[in-house]
Structure formats: structure tokens, C-alpha cells
Structure 1
């Protein structure tokens, strides 16, 4: 059984399912010619909403925690559009002798986490990890801090202050953008479910540097897959995409299933959604197609996880249909490559984005284009969404949105030819 994902600590009418149409397949050449003719009649007027610098389909950032609006960047978070430095600090306790070395624990997470982000960003972002070589002993026993999933705020704050206090004489915090506090996984008071990002309402200060947030790592050895990639996403202002049931029971993966590491660290296709990549600065305007609110558009979508050719032209990675002041439909291709190399299905994925929805409250919801079927029972974190993408020859009308998506074919290079009809 997979461990239930741990939410970040904050300092602060459903549509009926749609159906897939599977028309009788024409030849690839005939389908493409027909769609090109339709595309020539497309309307090109933009949505009747104010245009942001990123274009008319960029949603505004709202006060919601980790808002997915991207007309502006929240300057309290480091933006990963250049190389950033991270430090791993290893904490032991008087009541336990570590059974593993700091080097072994560092190797649990790096270079895997750096590799995840280098692939996700198409090489535009490098996370450079620096590890302290020794254990730093905390002043109190591990059991004294009450470490657990829903941690008492006073005990959590005491843990943070003690950790930074023992590290400050050896670590120059002014040199780092990201701080990982890694606890001895074998100490009796350490709970692996407590791994999370902690935001401070008032920054702590060390080396004349404000520390606004840290990643507290309590993982087992070896750790859960992609867990640090998930937590690091919060450091860059990305939200939790899973659904936490009110009573803690039930399925946590109903919003996005396997399709983004911010939903599940165990996902089969954990690469970040194209919307996230746009927000983080890894996709530019040339790679995002704002679809007109009425008409028919034909485009070719490169798989979101595929590498970008060095010096080559930037292909379209994301199509966006603006549906309201704070809402959009996003359309992208997912293929078995890069971070998505272990996906069990390929095709064109559709999802809703809400910039007014806070982290953990459904800022992204994948549209299930095959609501009556499931896939990958033995591997998927949520089989009902494992077959969410549209395949070749399939057409889907998004419930309540007057938007129809048709997948015509796949090019020899692996891109997908897609027709999007809006306002119908």
C-alpha cells in the first residue's frame, strides 16, 4: 500500500460525465487534409477578458494559497527559471544512534530530484544540492518534539528553531535558496508521514538571511518515490493536487490521479502539468496556444514530457481555452517519455484549472474522457483516471464547457494532431 501523501502546512455543481465518440477512422492523410480545411475557417478573436502579459488565456493570480494564476509571480517564492542551490542538513537525537550516514540519505534524494526537475524544465532549471557531511545533534530526544502528520504548532516551531540553531554555526544560510532538514529516520520519535514544507508566518533569521520556509524530511531509508520532488514543488509555489477527505478516509487521488507529481509522488506519469510549467517559466508564449472562444482550431501538440531539441523551433506544448474569469480548460499530450516514461496510457489529456482554488481544494481536475472504464489496476494510484487521455480517432465534448476535442492522428515524431472546437 502506498503511503497517503502528506499535505503541506500552511501559515495561513458537478457536471455529468461526457462520452467519447469513436468515429469510423479515415486514412491519416484524408483526416489531416479535412482538418486543415476546417482550420482555415477558424475565428481568431480572443476571449472577452483582460489580457495578461502572458496572453489572454493566462488566469490572474488570486489570494488563494499557491494560486495557479500566472499573470504575476509571487515574489515570496524562488522562481526556478535559473540554477538554485539547496542545502541538506542532517539531524540526529540524543535518544538514538543513526544507522545510516548523511551521504547515504543524501543519495536517497539526489541526483534523482535534480534529474526530475532538469527533465521537467527542459534543462532550463538546475537544482544544485549541497549536503552537510555530518550528523548535527538536536538538544532534545526525538520523542520530545511530538513529530507526526498533524503536528502541534508549538512543538513544530520548537523543532525548527532548534534545528536552525544547531546548524547555524556550520551552515551559511545566505548561500542557499532551499533548505532541507533531514531527520534520522531510525530515531524512535520520527514519523515518516510528517514530511512536509513548513511556511513561517514570520521568517526565521540566520546569517542575516530571512528563512521563510523549509522542507522537513522524515522519510524512511530508502524513501518514497519522488517524495522530495513533490515537496520541492511547494517551495516553488505549486499546490497540492490531491483531495484530502474530511475524515481522512477514502481516495486521495480523485482530482488528477497519476498525472502530476503534485497529485501523487507514486504516479505513473508524474511530470508536471503544462500549466505548472507555464507558471514556472519553462514554457513561453510560443509553446502555449490560446484557443479562440468560438470556432475551430487545428494544432499539433508535442508531448509535455518530451525533450526540446537544442536550437530547434519551439513546438506547441499546451492549448488553453479560457472559460471564465478564474477558470480555463488546458489540453496537452502525454507520452511515454522523460518523467512520464512509465505511463500506462498515452494520448491527449484535458483538465480544468481554477486559479481561485487553494492548494488541496481542487485547483486542477483531470477530465475523464472514458468515464465508464479504468486502466492499470496493478500500478495506477487511481485507475478511473489512468485512461483519461483521448486516443487517436476519439472525440470528446467537455461537459458544461461547449468545447469539443478530436484527436486525428499522431505524427512520426510522436506529436498529436488535435482539433478543438469551441462555442458549439
Structure 2
């Protein structure tokens, strides 16, 4: 099974001279043909923003960094998953291969598991409603013609997107959907599973009266990497890549956050989203987030625990502002919900940087046990697998006047924590 990471691609769309927005994707095909220069890696420009809810003194401001973890405002170029969203899954076949598996089988690789992941992560506040198509949509060229690979040539990638959208538009009303998944036949000879990623357009395509700002291009093997679609869908919600991509493509990818968030690794043992992400997405509100500005005693509920209907979420996240662009986050992680396969339980501490772009390390998990590791047979990065503080342990954050003591664990499974700020 591949252990690949799939960076996004940001695609400048060349503007037409007349500025006319056509009503259907068939009419926009010519614009897609001229999606040059696709090789560009510049960041997508930020649009107008809407105020985020529950922004307080510990909420870092959003910056111009790609997928900035600032959360005082929301980037309106992305759908915010604080309501139900609809997704279409289009299955693409090629003239040089007869599909071995059906669209129904491939759809079952991703749903309902991806929907269930987000339902648990959001405590039932968000539902991803997927509508997989039941037939193959034929592409006009052989799979080998498109040159599909991780670092894809701009001309052939442009042709792939153009052809896929043109073909799908015959039977798809894109105005019905918030998210578009383009799934290639995994057995076609030219399909490379390492090429799965989100493609962003700096100027949205206008189709069926709606804007298409990005598509998720899926080239996974069957069966696919675990939680891969949850990771890619996270980008659709303006979440950053948390892994480290070595310059030579070799070495550890998981030195920043290890197993502790699906945006770091889809293979993580504790892939539930960080509390900071849940705050950004609107799944945690002010009553579940404590802004620590002095010595504080807290009881932290496990981040991944989904309460019974009608029960309170309790306090899930503690935040200490450490600078204009930095903060510390403290949360409890237990073997429940999306974290049920975790290697270790306890109180996790991590650093947030709102000016660091996707893939550059905007989140750094702080290791409370730097001289040990755990779960070598399962963890994506064993040195961080035992990062959380356990009962009776104390941790002083390097470079900060912050000390965290974990007193005990309650009978219900929550952790009692004291945070001290000062000399």
C-alpha cells in the first residue's frame, strides 16, 4: 500500500478578454483548454472574508499564508462545513482499459466511511452527503496519454481536467453540489495513485449557474489508502497539509505531527482533527474552548469522544496565546471515536503558527517524552507516538513561560489539568 502524501495544486485560470461567464461547463471547455500556466505554484488569492464565530483573544488572525491556521475570519472561497454539504463522485474510464471494478464498489471504498469520519469529528454538526454516480464516464484519450503522476506536466493535466469536466457535464448539474470528486479507473495503465490531490482554481469556473473553485482528483488503488478522502476533503475546507515533505522525497514525512491529525497522515493511529481545526471549522465554540490568560485548572474531555445526544461537549481545547502569530494548544486524546486505534492516551500539547503555509509546519506537536518512542510496528512516526502527557506528569514548554501538569483522570475519562503561566 502506498504511503504517499498528496500536495495540492493551485491553478491560475487564464482570463478571457470579454469577461463573459458562460452558464454551462460545455461552454467553459475553451477556458479550461487555456488553463495556463498550470505549472505555476503561486498561491490562490484570498477573497473577501466573513467573520468567524467565537473569535476571542486567543484566536490567531488569518494571514495570507496558504491555508492559514488563523481563525478570526473565514475564507469565503471555501465551503465551511458547519452545515450539510453535497458532493458528486464522477467515475472516469479510458479507451485503453476496461474497468475491472464497478463504480458501486469504488464508491464503497470511500462512503459511508468518509461521511462517518466527519460526523464523528464534528460531533454530528456536519454531514457530507455523497452522491456517487452509478456508471462510468468515458474520457476521450487513453489513460497513458495524460501523463498522470505526482508532479504532473501542466499541459496534460489541463487536458485531463478539461476532458473530465466536459464528459461529466453531459449528465451532471454541477450547481447541485458543493464538492466534486473525479475518480479515475484505478486499473487503467496510465493511472498513478501518487497523483491524488486537490486542484484549486484562482478564478472559479462558472458552470450551471454555480462556481467551481476546486476539484478533488482521485487516482487511488483499490482498495485505497485509509482515510485518504478525509484528508483531501479537509483541503476543500481550507485545512493545511501538516506533514513535512523532504526536499529529496526521501526520509520521514511525519516529523511535525506524527499520528495526531488526518491532515498530517491518512495512516495515523489517532487521525481525529486537532481541536484547533475543529474551532476553525465551527465544530467547537466558545463554550468548549478556554483562552488561558493566567494560571488555570481545567477538566479536558477527550477530543475524539462523541457525547450521547443532548449531552454537553464539555471543555475540549485550551489555548495560550504566545505571540502575535503563535499560540499553544492543549487537548486530551483518548482511545475513542476517530482515535480508537491510538498508540497512547493523554494530554497533547502543540504549537500553532498562522503565518506558516500548508506543508511548511503550521502545527508542531511538542513531545513530552523526547527520550522515548512507541508503537514501532504501527505508528507513522514512533518518536511522537507517545507525545502526550500522562497522569502525574509535568511539562514545561521549551522557550515559553508555560507549565502543564496533569493531575489525574476522572472516572468518566476526562483529564484534570493545571496550566501555569509565569516564571
Q: Partner of 1:94 in structure 2?
A: 95
Quote the residue 1:37 is aligned against.
none
Distance 1:2-1:422 versus aligned 2 partners, 3 A rule: farther
CA distance in 1, matches of 2:187, 2:2: 20
CA contact (8 A) 1:370 1:387 kept: yes
Alignment of 1:3-42 (within 5 A): 3-11=3-11
Q: Could you tell me which residue of structure 2 aligns to residue 323 of structure 1?
A: 322
Counterpart in the other structure of 2:211 = 210
The alignment partner of 2:247 has SS state of coil
Report the Cα distance in structure 2 between the residues aligned to 1:374 and 1:172, rounded to whole angstroms. 51
C-alpha separation in 2, matches of 1:195 and 1:239? 16
Q: Is the 8 A contact 1:57 1:290 kept in 2?
A: yes
CA contact (8 A) 1:4 1:252 kept: no
Q: Which residue of 1 aligns with 2:370?
A: 371
CA contact (8 A) 2:53 2:285 kept: no
CA gap of 1:145–1:344, structure 2 versus 1, over 3 A, is same
Q: Which residue of 2 aligns with 1:54?
A: 55
Instruction: Determine if the alignment matches structure 1 residue 411 to structure 2 residue 410.
Output: yes
Residue correspondence of structure 1 range 155-174 to structure 2 within 5 A: 155-174=156-175
2-side partners of 1:99 and 1:377: how far apart? 36
- The aligned residue for residue 336 of structure 1 is 335
* Structure 1 unmatched runs, 5+: 13-50
2:395 corresponds to 1:396 = yes
Deviation of the 1:8 alpha carbon: 1.5
Cα distance per residue 1:256-294 (max 9 Å; x no partner): 0000000000000000000000000000000000001xx
- Provide the secondary structure at the position in 2 that maps to 1:285: coil
User: Once the 2 structures are TM-superposed, how far is the Cα of residue 52 of structure 1 from its aligned partner?
Assistant: 9.0
Q: SS of 1:200's equivalent?
A: strand
Taking the TM superposition and a 5 Å limit, the aligned residue runs for 1:122-137 are: 122-137=123-138
Counterpart mapping for 1:264-283 below 5 A: 264-283=265-284
Superposition TM-score, scaled by structure 2 size: 0.89
The 1-side partners of 2:92 and 2:332 are apart by 42
Does the CA contact (< 8 Å) of 1:203 and 1:211 recur in 2?
yes
For the residues of structure 2 that align with 1:335 and 1:52, how far apart are their CA atoms? 27
Q: Distance in 2 between matches of 1:312 and 1:97?
A: 51
Residue 112 (structure 1) aligned with residue 113 (structure 2):
yes
- 1:290 aligns to what? 291
Change in 2 beyond 3 A, CA 1:310/1:141: same
Structure 2 stretches lacking a partner, 5+ long: 13-51
Instruction: Please give the residue correspondences for 1:156-235 in structure 2 after superposition, counting only pairs within 5 Å.
Output: 156-235=157-236
**Cα displacement (A) at 1:410:** 0.3
Residue 2 of structure 1: how far off its partner (Å):
4.7
Over aligned residues, Cα RMSD in angstroms? 1.3
- Equivalent pairs counted in the alignment come to 384
Where 1:85 maps in the other structure, the secondary structure is strand
State the Cα deviation string for residues 206-234 of structure 1 (Å, max 9, x = none). Answer: 21222110000000011010000000000
TM-aligned CA deviation for residue 169 of structure 1: 1.5
